[in-house]
Structure 1
Amino acid sequence: MSRRAPRASIDPDVRLGWLRRALPLVKAHRVLLITSLTLSFAGLIVQVQIPNLVRIGIDEAIVDKTAQLGTYVWWIVGLALLQGLINFLARLYLLRTAYELEYDLRNIVYSHLARLPFGFYDRVQTGELMSRSGSDIRAVQMYLSFGPSILVQCLIAVVAFGLMLSINVPLAIVAMITMPVIGLLGVSMRKAIFPVSWMIQARLAHLATVVDENIQGVRIVKAFAAEGRQLRQLAESADRIRWAYLQDARIRSRWNPLLDNLPRLGLALVLMVGGYMVIEGSTTVGTIVAFNSYVLMLQPPFRLLGMMIMMGQRASASARRIYDILDTPSDVVDGPDPLDVPLRGDIAFTDVRFAYPNGTVALDGVTLRVRPGETVAVVGGTGSGKSTLGRLLARFYDVTGGRVTLDGHDVRTLALSSLRQQVGIVPDEPFLFSMSIHDNIAYGKPDATRVEVAAAAVAAGADEFIRELPDGYDTVVGERGYTLSGGQRQRVAIARALLVNPPVLVLDDATSAIDVTVEQRIHTSLREQMRGRTTLIVAHRLSTIGLADRVVLMEAGRVIADGTHASLLESEPRYAQVLAASTSLEAPA
């Protein structure tokens, strides 16, 4: 089933209020919404006729005995059934509107998240994003869909007041005398509840972050027997949410009784004034009964009005948190006329400077050339900037200064989708999805056949262990692939990159967790796979360096030496020191 694109988006003008920015989304579904509201209003018209029929029935059939009571009974039953049918249809269309709005809003947020650069995810917590993509979207959806319906429901007060005026003007004014006070109380409640609503959503997001980190890091938590500490952290976060909810409850308990009971005061006034008028002969018993029904009919809408105020404050807080994401620009985007061209793999870094969003300088004036079909190993100590080269090449980040080119094209002028299809990256900590091994390997080429997937697995040295699994290639791996060993995950990741067959391949310490004997078999295959392919290898092991045509030594974000392994070993003592350090780390204890 293909994904339907959102019918509209959020207005990008940040100067507008949150509701005005959401109006394009509501307008896109106006047919469903207007149909629902029209039916809802029709149901109200039918509803307010019933007390009037009761009034006429009492006065004419019971008091004056000039009409048949059964006639009014059947009319009331008929109107009740008609109202039920209308309300059913109104509710059906309203829920359809709500779900369509939620679908579009989720897709808008997710599409924007997919466009945001790696730097955004470096500084934003996953739990925070999950909260904004979940409960915050639901809060906005509830208000955009149910808010107009509640307003229509509140129109029953206008319709009922009009009917009451047509029956008895003085008594109608008495019945409605408390309503302005309710309006003023609603405004006061709105001001009081907004900061608490914002606080609740923010603290729910923090709790989601704590839960997410505990689940994702459960192995570390258990390894350090830190369950108690994490539970205390969770309890502290839950306590802060509880405190915010208690503040919300105090505000509601202070204002809701007033909003609920003021209409009942109107009921008492109607009974008192209306009773006196009946005694004086200026109105009828049926009128009193009808007015009582109308006053009771006014209570639910005003209760809903209080609920709408609270929904509005929650939605306002949630919308602003969602807009924080949508208003974050992506600085890694396609240019005005992006190029979609086949690449040979002629890589050039020219005076490249780069600092991560937190200010860490990774590259400081790197100049490096990798010719088409050449294999270059990049060696250096931790933090020397080795992995950053591959990330800039695939435009996970954009350079701070200088330029990165492929076949003479600045990577910023190439279409992102085309660039990343032609630059395959295998990270040192590969991520696997919770699906079959076949689907994980075929992730970059979903239509790949089993034969193609198996061939890539053979090239990556993964076929043997995959076939030994209970369901072979159909074995579903656990979350992040943790049911496999680190070396097995790396081999699956290598197979995933090889299946796409990119002209440029970046192996970011991609065999660091693989046993040396297995690695040797993989290297034999990789030599064949890398023939004619431009390959950048971030390496520590001598065996991996042996795959390269030449070696680049980096230190503090600079290239300090470039040559063959043998020449560097002979002429560059710092190269020997890096290799010695790497060898000592790999040596068994």
Structure 2
Amino acid sequence: MTDSPRRAPRAGIHPDSSKSWLRRAWPIVRAHRILLISSLTLSFIGLVVQVQIPDLVRIALDRALVDRTDGLTGYVWLIAGLAVAQGVINFLARLYLLRTAYEMEYDLRNVIFTHLMRMSYAFYDRVQSGELISRATSDIRAVQMYLAFGPSILVQCTIAAIAFALMLSINAPLAVVAMLTMPVIAVLGVRMRRASFPVSWLIQARLAGVATVVDENIQGVRIVKAFAGEQRQVDLLAASADRVRWAYTEDAGVRSRWLPVMDNLPRLGLAMVLLVGGLMVLDGDATVGTIVAFNSYVLMLQPPFRMLGMIIMMGQRAAASAQRIYDILDTPADIVDPADPATPAPRGDVRFEDVRFAYPDGTVALQGLDLHVAPGETIALVGATGSGKSTVARLAARFYDTAGGRVLIDGVDVRDYPLTTLRDRVGIVPDEPFLFSMSLHDNIAFGHPTASRDQVVAAARAAGARGFIQELPAGYDTVVGERGYTLSGGQRQRVAIARALLVNPPVLILDDATSAIDVRVEHEIHEALRDLMRDRTTVVVAHRLATIGLADRVVLIENGRAVASGTHTDLLATEPRYARVLASEVTA
């Protein structure tokens, strides 16, 4: 796997949660201010050009057609030139605006994804993946749209002020008549904002619920099909989608009550202009060209008013989405690098001292575990299901922090290690190996991306994976399906073992890592592992006698404590609890 160059985010979200959501997002806007200001400036210039055209039409009508004191051709060419100039300016303004929007989205996505990568196992134990996917996609898009397009829409709305200024210069009384509806629109906008915010929040939350259902069913599609649960899951999604539909219907109700009025008020202004302006023309206080120009100006006011309603709705949606994003970003990572890290020489000494631990859901896993594994020693952890064996691996690599006691690697508390250093020293092969949708070479080299093909092949050979990989059409370049499901369970485990071995950690933990491998292949892997374990501290979570046979010493875990330790033969002869565990858990 090759690392492509990546630009770091130019800015992040302000950490002060007491600030408004916009002030917290301001650093990202400020980081891209040059592009944004360029876009807004060009947009404003385009508006200035646009409002000149009706005035030229007015002059052309009055001078060339009514008074016949001037030629028409010059005005036609001038208006056409302004139209072309406006088109070029608007093109550049739109280009810069879209670039700004995508740059902001890039920063937002990287900020939230970087934060998610720092979060511990405990965070993911309590937060649904669909929620995270929704916040990292649709919520980010809602915020990005407002941050980038909101200022642009506000600039577009300034056409009302520019047009009003020109109308005042042409005919002040008629200009006042044309703008009479503005205060009403402002009041309606505020009321619509208040009505739309709770609905916007509800929509985003319910979209996240749909994302959760979809994510779980895609990830668990094999289980759904195995138990013929397709229709039940379709019904579940339909129920979630129905809740989203209800929220969108409420949102449509808010829009339908307020937006038509806000859209049509400028037309009322147009009618008033035609009425009052017509009377003024009859009285000789205005010209036909003035009426035509004012008609164009009032029509220009319609899009800004429509966009005013749009920006209000966008703002409420963005505010709701921002709060959902900030909920994630404001959750501190509880597993972090120490302020004063220690990096002693790697020896492979592992010690648990009176370790107590319970999972976030309250499940107690360890209750005063004392365990020492000397450098180069191989031990097998044996115990009934739920006794705490796998938790030992998770605490050694500091996926969780202990509730009491200490875990020491080479005499140093794991909380005093930089996380990257610790996890380079403690390699884990889980009982449920996860493979990425990329080549087998890249999967094996995941922990050591610069490894050569020879190094990858050597690790695969040691894990017993070389044989089946060579039989694949593309060999090590074969791209496995999502989660590696194009491979068998045993093949995935062998790739996971190769991935851990390539890093060459001084401490290797095999969490029931050969459970899905047949006995013949397991024997081949064990033979290879014997050589690899010779100078390596190894902890094996064991359920098979063949796996236990790899160990120099067996430790019996019961109710989160180490209750017995010795060789397999000694424990079998002296410890009835060990014999009972083997009878129920271990298969020959």
Q: Where on the TM-score scale, by shorter chain, does this alignment land: which range?
A: over 0.9
Aligned residue in 1 for 2:378 = 375
The residue type equivalent to 2:66 in the other structure is V
**Match status 1:440 vs 2:450:** no
Deviation at 1:28, TM superposition (A): 0.3
Q: 1:46 aligns with which of 49, 53, 68?
A: 49
**1:345-384 Cα shifts (integer Å, max 9, x gaps):** 1111111111111111111111111111111111111111
Contact 2:380 2:539 in 1 (8 A): yes
**Match status 1:190 vs 2:193:** yes
- SS of 1:429's equivalent in the other structure is coil
Aligned residue in 2 for 1:178 = 181
In 2, the alpha carbon distance for the partners of 1:463 and 1:206 equals: 43
Contact 1:436 1:475 in 2 (8 A): yes
Q: 1:228 aligns with which of 205, 213, 231?
A: 231
Q: Which deviates further from its counterpart, 3-12 or 57-66?
A: 57-66
Q: 1:349 aligns with which of 320, 334, 352?
A: 352
Contact 1:341 1:418 in 2 (8 A): no
In 2, the alpha carbon distance for the partners of 1:313 and 1:20 equals: 15
**1:381-430 Cα shifts (integer Å, max 9, x gaps):** 11111111110111101111111111111111110011111111000000
Specify every segment of 5 or more residues in structure 1 that has no aligned partner in the other structure, as ranges: none
Aligned residue in 1 for 2:456 = 453
Q: 1:317 aligns with which of 317, 320, 332?
A: 320
Deviation at 1:324, TM superposition (A): 0.9
- SS of 1:253's equivalent in the other structure is helix
RMSD: 1.0
Aligned residue in 1 for 2:139 = 136
- SS of 2:368's equivalent in the other structure is strand
In 2, the alpha carbon distance for the partners of 1:549 and 1:145 equals: 63
Deviation at 1:465, TM superposition (A): 1.3
**Match status 1:481 vs 2:484:** yes
**1:207-260 Cα shifts (integer Å, max 9, x gaps):** 111111111111111111111111111111111111111111111111111010
Aligned residue in 1 for 2:287 = 284
- SS of 2:445's equivalent in the other structure is helix
In 2, the alpha carbon distance for the partners of 1:291 and 1:569 equals: 100
In 1, the alpha carbon distance for the partners of 2:472 and 2:128 equals: 35
Q: How many residues align?
A: 585
**Match status 1:471 vs 2:474:** yes
Q: 2:390 aligns with which of 387, 392, 396?
A: 387
Deviation at 1:338, TM superposition (A): 2.0
In 1, the alpha carbon distance for the partners of 2:133 and 2:243 equals: 19
In 2, the alpha carbon distance for the partners of 1:4 and 1:338 equals: 28
In 2, the alpha carbon distance for the partners of 1:276 and 1:471 equals: 84
Aligned residue in 1 for 2:31 = 28
Contact 1:376 1:552 in 2 (8 A): yes
In 1, the alpha carbon distance for the partners of 2:519 and 2:44 equals: 75
Runs of 4+ in 1 over 4 A off after TM superposition: none
Deviation at 1:435, TM superposition (A): 1.2
The residue type equivalent to 2:301 in the other structure is L
Aligned residue in 2 for 1:113 = 116
**Match status 1:576 vs 2:579:** yes
In 2, the alpha carbon distance for the partners of 1:335 and 1:471 equals: 44
Deviation at 1:339, TM superposition (A): 2.8
**Match status 1:361 vs 2:347:** no
**Match status 1:537 vs 2:540:** yes
Deviation at 1:178, TM superposition (A): 0.1
- SS of 1:443's equivalent in the other structure is coil
- SS of 2:16's equivalent in the other structure is coil
Aligned residue in 2 for 1:123 = 126
Specify every segment of 5 or more residues in structure 2 that has no aligned partner in the other structure, as ranges: none
The residue type equivalent to 1:68 in the other structure is G
In 2, the alpha carbon distance for the partners of 1:59 and 1:488 equals: 86
The residue type equivalent to 2:236 in the other structure is Q
Q: Which deviates further from its counterpart, 63-72 or 149-158?
A: 63-72
Deviation at 1:452, TM superposition (A): 1.0
**Match status 1:151 vs 2:154:** yes
The residue type equivalent to 1:393 in the other structure is A
Deviation at 1:131, TM superposition (A): 0.8
**1:72-100 Cα shifts (integer Å, max 9, x gaps):** 11111111111111100000100000000
In 2, the alpha carbon distance for the partners of 1:563 and 1:29 equals: 65
The residue type equivalent to 1:496 in the other structure is R
Contact 1:445 1:499 in 2 (8 A): yes
Deviation at 1:341, TM superposition (A): 4.4
Q: 1:253 aligns with which of 251, 256, 259?
A: 256
- SS of 2:122's equivalent in the other structure is helix
Deviation at 1:570, TM superposition (A): 1.6
Deviation at 1:167, TM superposition (A): 1.1
In 2, the alpha carbon distance for the partners of 1:282 and 1:450 equals: 89
Contact 2:344 2:410 in 1 (8 A): no
Aligned residue in 2 for 1:419 = 422
Q: Where do 1:300-311 residues align within 5 Å?
A: 300-311=303-314
The residue type equivalent to 1:77 in the other structure is A
- Percent identity reads 73
In 2, the alpha carbon distance for the partners of 1:342 and 1:491 equals: 30
Aligned residue in 2 for 1:430 = 433
The residue type equivalent to 1:388 in the other structure is T
Q: 1:567 aligns with which of 559, 570, 577?
A: 570
Q: Where do 1:233-244 residues align within 5 Å?
A: 233-244=236-247
- SS of 2:352's equivalent in the other structure is strand
In 1, the alpha carbon distance for the partners of 2:137 and 2:99 equals: 19
**1:87-119 Cα shifts (integer Å, max 9, x gaps):** 000001000000000000000010000000011
Q: Tell me the TM-score normalized by structure 1.
A: 0.98
In 2, the alpha carbon distance for the partners of 1:519 and 1:405 equals: 31
